Structure 1
Amino acid sequence: MDGRGMPAPGELYTIDGRQMHLQRSGPVPASALQPTLVIEAGGGCASPIYARLQQVLSAKYPVISYDRAGMGWSEADDAPFDGKRSAQQLHALLAAAEVTGPIVLIGHSLGGLLNRIYTGLYPEQVAGVVMLDASHPEQFELFKGLPAEQLAPERKKRAEFQAGGVPPPDFAPIQAIFADMPHVLRQMAANYTPETIDTMVKEHEGLQHVARQAGASPDLGARPLAVLSATVMQKLPPGAEEAAEVQRRWPEYQEAHAGLSTRSRLHRIEGAEHMTLVVLPPFVSRVAEEIDWIMAQLGCTR
């Protein structure tokens, strides 16, 4: 699984003076009207996490995943994390990759907020939206960010790994989940870096700002919208009252997402956790079914 130092597996484009990375798969759009699916990652996640989802979806549709600044193979920048700037960079990246037709945005976790911002900025381009256990603006009202010192041990562990150390225990479940996709394991090893932790801290510091941007974005109108929600919540340590309140309100948040469009449907996926929803085959298959529904609503069937 050793992918340390591996080159970018996809395509690199210069956006705002820095390299940004995307991975493209699936058939070429059959016409200028066929949407391309664009996966927006959750906070602190790089494109390889969504490799199984991309593989399944690309059996029918053109699909793109990409890395935000500082994640995966996209170069970091010095600016604070900002949803509008992120959307502008993605828009420029898609243009550079000659994705000129409509898109369907697939946002996991934080990606759901970013998709709302993107749609508000480029409404003519976004044909449909999928929210995968997506974050809600209100959950970050009391959020204080993630102190860098809290992640110092994780940063040290990743630095030791990149210097030639053995894979940490964290990789055991990842190896099990992606045992049939060794190329993905190599990509994940390549992304297990201390610099990724720096980007995670930056994204956490900007969450309240990005949440306000998403909350101020317009509703999704009549765009087809599929909302999929996990039902298994993470076990919390004592004293995590704020997180417990977010978990209590999670079903309410997902219903609010569904209310953003006049053409939506909401499914609570039994047995799915926040991350397993996008990586385990049975749940990925359910996501694919919802994509089929979105595409049928748009008059695109294969």
Structure 2
Amino acid sequence: MSGWPCSPPTSSPAPRLQRPKAPKLARLSIVVIVILAAACAGPRASPSAAPVGLYDVGGHSLYLECEGSGSPTIVYLHGIGGNRSNGNFLLKAFSSSRRVCTYDRVNEGDSDHVTDPQTASRAVADLHALLAAAGVRPPYLLVAASFGGLIGITYTTTYPSEVVGMVMLDASLPADAEIDKILPEPDRTEVTKEFAVQGEVFEYSTLAEAGRALDRMPDIPVTYLGATQFAAVPPNWPADQIIALTKQHWHEFVARFTKGRLVEVDSPHFPMPDAVVNAEIDRMFSLLGS
């Protein structure tokens, strides 16, 4: 079995986790994501130019980088421990014919740091205010990686008229909370404590919040790319059961949508092959007729 890029947890207390430059986050749950996270110029003046810079979103500022033009706009949502640079491959592949925007959530990249715990709804409010401040108008095609999937789900249900499609890159799903229930103690307790050291300070309640939002998800085209290279987990974890639940969640999620599509990719959680991701985004644009 190949698998999640993580090392078995040591005995209590858990060691401090180090965040890499690029996130090495597993497709399990918020708790497991934490264990695996081991893996200012102002905006341009011209309204027609692709916006780049810091924008005030109400008490703090977020950094946005857009290139190209066209509609719908591709908006990249990075995972925990990541930043907008994780979406650079989209700028390279699509900005010659599409508008592509990447941004840093709070406490990441060039965005401001805050001390308040972050939830999905706060992240969604920030993103909505950011796009409005920068003059990036809907419709949007969301490309959501890892934990960004929960943000994408919540954004789409909060602003259903703004999102025309979503491509999810081995993204977190609300049902992943079920996986936490089968993890042995004291592992789950210890990694939960480690949440405070993560830069974004996302509350565990984000899973439940996105779960409630999922029931209001509009029937838009959704493509889910699931990474099948599962890394080794600690020997006392039920690896086969975790893999089975993970794949079950993929199937159940895409089944919610008339134009839901599941693509299993022979890839680690991060990064997924650019060519595969780009091909699925091209397919989505064809489906949308744009």
TM-score for the superposition, normalised by structure 1: 0.71
Native 8 Å contact 1:20 1:73 kept in 2: yes
Secondary structure of residue in 2 paired with 1:146: helix
Matched, 1:273 2:268: yes
Change (3 A) 1:145 1:116: farther
Structure 2 counterpart of 1:238, one-letter code: P
Deviations 1:80-132 (A, max 9, x none): 12101110110000001101130011111111111110011100111111111
Structure 1 counterpart of 2:289, one-letter code: G
Secondary structure of residue in 1 paired with 2:64: strand
Match of 2:199 in 1: 199
Matched, 1:298 2:283: no
Match of 2:53 in 1: 11
Match of 1:138 in 2: 175
Match of 1:183 in 2: none
Quote the offset at 1:221 in angstroms: 3.4
Q: 1:93 aligns with which of 130, 138, 144?
A: 130
Match of 1:58 in 2: 95
Q: 2:249 aligns with which of 246, 250, 253?
A: 253
Structure 2 counterpart of 1:239, one-letter code: N
Structure 1 counterpart of 2:246, one-letter code: W
| Distance in 2 of aligned mates of 1:92 and 1:109 | 22
| Distance in 2 of aligned mates of 1:122 and 1:256 | 23
Deviates more, 1:71-80 or 1:81-90: 71-80
Structure 2 counterpart of 1:273, one-letter code: P
Match of 2:69 in 1: 28
Q: Which runs of 5+ in 2 are unaligned?
A: 1-39, 43-51, 181-187
Quote the offset at 1:144 in angstroms: 4.6
Match of 1:223 in 2: 220
Secondary structure of residue in 2 paired with 1:81: coil
Native 8 Å contact 1:8 1:73 kept in 2: no
Match of 1:238 in 2: 235
Matched, 1:84 2:121: yes
| Distance in 2 of aligned mates of 1:62 and 1:149 | 37
Deviations 1:213-233 (A, max 9, x none): 111113543311111111101
Change (3 A) 1:146 1:114: same
CA-atom RMSD in angstroms: 2.4
Native 8 Å contact 1:258 1:265 kept in 2: yes
| Distance in 1 of aligned mates of 2:58 and 2:240 | 40
Q: Which runs of 5+ in 1 are unaligned?
A: 1-6, 152-196, 278-282
| Distance in 1 of aligned mates of 2:284 and 2:209 | 25
Secondary structure of residue in 2 paired with 1:106: strand
Quote the offset at 1:266 in angstroms: 1.1
| Distance in 2 of aligned mates of 1:299 and 1:119 | 20
Matched, 1:108 2:145: yes
Native 8 Å contact 2:160 2:218 kept in 1: no
| Distance in 2 of aligned mates of 1:219 and 1:144 | 31
1 or 2, which has the higher helix percentage? 1
Match of 1:127 in 2: 164
Change (3 A) 1:87 1:238: same
Structure 2 counterpart of 1:288, one-letter code: N
Identity %: 30
| Distance in 2 of aligned mates of 1:80 and 1:286 | 35
Native 8 Å contact 2:104 2:111 kept in 1: yes
Native 8 Å contact 1:132 1:227 kept in 2: yes
Structure 2 counterpart of 1:16, one-letter code: G
Quote the offset at 1:150 in angstroms: 9.2
Q: 2:206 aligns with which of 206, 210, 220?
A: 210
Matched, 1:289 2:279: yes
